[in-house]
């Protein structure tokens, strides 16, 4: 069982930056692929970014490429999402995701989810 706890959300002006963190429980964090999703009001949850176990492969949604960076620190059992050049349309609840397989994270079929953290970007 893996528990995921997100932090780092908040209110930021357009053009600003935030870094989200997701701390995972368990001693096998390094063997899990990790990812981030987001859900805006009235919209479906959408994939944002994923990183493989070991960190060698990353995936990004087209809408965030070049602005967001996903990374992981296995020693801290934490995955990060650095968000730069934020836009009002990035406003959403951001969820951390985990699974043994990266492609299951990318597809949203992962086994584990965090509770979410709110990101609000003002114009």
The whole-chain average pLDDT of the chain stands at 96
pLDDT digits (tens, 9 = 90+) for 37-63: 999 999 999 999 999 999 999 999 999
| The pLDDT of residue 26 is above 80 | no
Residue 88 C-alpha from the chain's centroid: 18
| The pLDDT of residue 111 is above 80 | yes
Task: Answer yes or no: are the C-beta atoms of 42 and 34 closer than 8 Å.
Answer: no
Closest CA to 45 of 3, 96, 87: 96
Closest CA to 97 of 72, 68, 63, 64: 72
Question: Measured between alpha carbons, how far is 23 from 48 in angstroms, rounded to an integer?
Answer: 18
């Amino acid at each position: 069982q893996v528990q995921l706890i997100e932090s780092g959300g908040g209110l930021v002006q357009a053009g600003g930056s935030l870094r989200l963190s997701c701390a995972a429980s368990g001693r096998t964090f390094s063997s899990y692929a990790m990812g981030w999703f987001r859900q805006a009001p009235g919209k479906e949850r959408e994939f944002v970014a994923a990183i493989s176990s070991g960190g060698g492969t990353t995936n990004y949604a087209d809408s965030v490429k070049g602005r967001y960076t996903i990374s992981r620190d296995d020693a801290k059992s934490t995955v990060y999402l650095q968000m730069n050049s934020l836009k009002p349309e990035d406003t959403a609840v951001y969820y951390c995701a985990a699974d043994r397989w990266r492609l299951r994270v990318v597809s949203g079929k992962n086994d584990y989810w965090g509770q979410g953290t709110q990101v609000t970007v003002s114009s």
